[in-house]
Amino acid sequence: MRSAWVTPPDPVVLRAARSVFVLGRLRHTRDDSPMARAIREFEGLRVNVDDVIYMPSLDAPPEKPHPFVYFISIHNDSPVAVTIRGRKWVVREVDGEVTVVEGDGLVGQCPEIEPGGHFSYNSYHVVAGKARVSGAFFGETADGEWIFTRIPEFRLEVPQRM
């Protein structure tokens, strides 16, 4: 597994002394800061995997020749605005290889999703063959609470050649 961070059990206090581990990196902060509190799963966000499309015309490295485009919608069903600060994907290939992809924002943005609103985007993964994908989005509510929501698992299946 390639990752600097493993998904913690819920809820978790992500602090050690005067440092806080958030979204894959260590940040120094005061013990009373909002980041020094627990990060919890937020029931008010709903993630839909709207579509997954095999796209062999996209560039892909020889060792992972199968690109898949995925379309995601994040819906805010809560009464508070939420800003998405980062994401983490876990790609489990049929051969047992696990790749973890994490980073700040979504497609170069940190979208703020108002109550009742949604944010949609698309991106892609490249794989060697059949795979399962899951993950999480990490964010902050308008009240300064650090939260996450899970991305439902979906499958990448290379079509059989005719």
pLDDT of 115-131, one tens digit each? Answer: 999 999 999 999 999 99
Residue 137 has pLDDT above 90, yes or no: yes
Mean pLDDT of the chain: 82
Predicted confidence band at 8 (pLDDT cuts at 50, 70, 90)?
very low
β-bridge partners, 156 = 131
Look-up of token digits 């892909």 = 60
pLDDT of residue 5: 34
Spatial separation of the C-alpha atoms in residues 110 and 88, rounded to whole Å: 14
Residues in the chain: 162
CATH superfamily of 40-156: ApaG domain (2.60.40.1470)
Tens digit of each residue's pLDDT (9 = 90 or more) over 34-91: 544 578 999 999 999 999 999 999 999 999 999 999 999 999 999 999 999 999 999 9
Predicted confidence band at 30 (pLDDT cuts at 50, 70, 90)?
very low
pLDDT of residue 37: 58
Residue 12 has pLDDT above 50, yes or no: no
Strands laid side by side in the 15-16 sheet: 15-16, 19-22, 25-28
Residue 13 has pLDDT above 70, yes or no: no
Give residue limits of the domains in the chain.
Answer: 40-156
- Cβ-based burial of 151 (10 A; exposed 0-12, middle 13-18, buried ≥19): buried
